[in-house]
Structure 1
Amino acid sequence: MSCAIEHLRVDRLASVPEAGPYAVGESPVWHAAQDALYWVDITGKRIVRHVIETGRRTHWAIPEQVGCIAFDGAGSVLAAMESGLFAVQLYEPPAGALEAHASLQALASPRFRCQGMRFNDGRCDRQGRFLAGTMVMDMSLGLAAGELLRHDAAARTLVPVVDGLIVQNGLAWSPDGRTMYLSDSHPSRRLIWTFDYDVDAGVPHSRRVFADLNRYVGRPDGATVDEAGGYWICANDGAALLRFAPDGRLDRQIALPAAKPAMCAFGGKRLDTLYVTTIRPAGASAGEYDGHVLALHVGIGGIPEPVLGDCLPRTLPGDPIAGSGTAPGLDP
Structure 2
Amino acid sequence: MNTTVECVLDAKATLGEGAVWDAQSSALWWVDIAAPSLHRFHPGTKKNQTWSMPSAIGCVAPRRSGGAIVGLEEGWCAFDPADGSIRLLNDMAPGLATHRFNDGTVDPAGRFWAGTMPKSGPRDAAAGEAGDGTLFCLDVDGSCRAVLDGLYIQNGLAFSPDGKRMYLSDSYKPIRTIWVFDYDLETGTPSNRRTFFDTNAVAGRPDGAAMDAEGCYWMAGIDGWQILRLTPDGTIDLTIPVPVEKPTCLAFGGPRLEQLYITSMGDGLISPGTEDRQPQAGGVFVCEPGVVGYAPPACGA
Q: TM-score, normalised by structure 1?
A: 0.84
Deviation at 1:26, TM superposition (A): 0.8
Identify which of 44, 48, 54 aligns with 1:57: 48
Identify which of 134, 148, 151 aligns with 2:135: 148
1:73 and 2:64 are equivalent in the alignment: yes
Deviation at 1:21, TM superposition (A): 0.7
SS at match of 2:31: strand
Structure-2 residue corresponding to 1:106: 88
1:119 and 2:101 are equivalent in the alignment: yes
Deviation track 1:156-200 (CA, whole Å, cap 9, x = no partner) reads: 442111111000000001110110000000111100000001111
**Match of 1:137, as an amino acid?**
K
Partners of 2:164 and 2:297 in 1: how far apart?
A: 14
Partners of 2:20 and 2:124 in 1: how far apart?
A: 29
Partners of 1:205 and 1:167 in 2: how far apart?
A: 20
SS at match of 2:58: strand
What is the correspondence of 1:249-288 to structure 2 with a 5 Å cutoff? 249-282=235-268, 285-286=274-275, 287-288=278-279
Structure-2 residue corresponding to 1:40: 31
1:305 and 2:292 are equivalent in the alignment: no
Deviation track 1:276-330 (CA, whole Å, cap 9, x = no partner) reads: 0001142663322210001001000112321111x2xxxxxxxxxxxxxxxxxxx
Structure-2 residue corresponding to 1:321: none
SS at match of 1:289: coil
Partners of 2:93 and 2:8 in 1: how far apart?
A: 38
SS at match of 2:294: coil
Provide the aligned C-alpha RMSD in A: 1.7
Q: TM-score, normalised by structure 2?
A: 0.92
Q: Report percent identity of matched pairs.
A: 38
Partners of 1:113 and 1:74 in 2: how far apart?
A: 25
Structure-1 residue corresponding to 2:21: 30
SS at match of 1:139: coil
SS at match of 2:200: helix
**Match of 2:105, as an amino acid?**
R
Deviation at 1:113, TM superposition (A): 7.5
Indicate if the aligned counterparts of 2:204 and 2:224 stay in contact, CA closer than 8 A: yes
1:162 and 2:148 are equivalent in the alignment: yes
Indicate if the aligned counterparts of 2:75 and 2:95 stay in contact, CA closer than 8 A: no
**Match of 2:58, as an amino acid?**
G
SS at match of 1:66: coil
Question: Which has a greater percent of strand?
Answer: 2
Structure-2 residue corresponding to 1:320: none
Identify which of 3, 9, 23 aligns with 1:8: 3
Indicate if the aligned counterparts of 1:7 and 1:255 stay in contact, CA closer than 8 A: no
Partners of 1:38 and 1:188 in 2: how far apart?
A: 31
Greater Rg by CA: 1
**Match of 2:120, as an amino acid?**
D
Indicate if the aligned counterparts of 1:62 and 1:102 stay in contact, CA closer than 8 A: no
Deviation at 1:74, TM superposition (A): 3.0
Identify which of 157, 179, 195 aligns with 1:193: 179
Partners of 1:182 and 1:163 in 2: how far apart?
A: 12
Deviation at 1:147, TM superposition (A): 1.1
SS at match of 2:274: coil
Indicate if the aligned counterparts of 1:142 and 1:186 stay in contact, CA closer than 8 A: no
**Match of 1:105, as an amino acid?**
R
Deviation at 1:104, TM superposition (A): 0.9
1:142–1:113: structure 2 CA closer, same or farther, 3 Å change rule? Answer: farther
SS at match of 2:175: coil
1:216 and 2:202 are equivalent in the alignment: yes
Partners of 1:112 and 1:87 in 2: how far apart?
A: 15
Structure 2 unmatched runs, 5+? 126-130
**Match of 1:138, as an amino acid?**
S
SS at match of 2:24: helix
Partners of 1:114 and 1:50 in 2: how far apart?
A: 31
Partners of 1:293 and 1:163 in 2: how far apart?
A: 31
Deviation at 1:267, TM superposition (A): 0.5
**Match of 1:304, as an amino acid?**
A
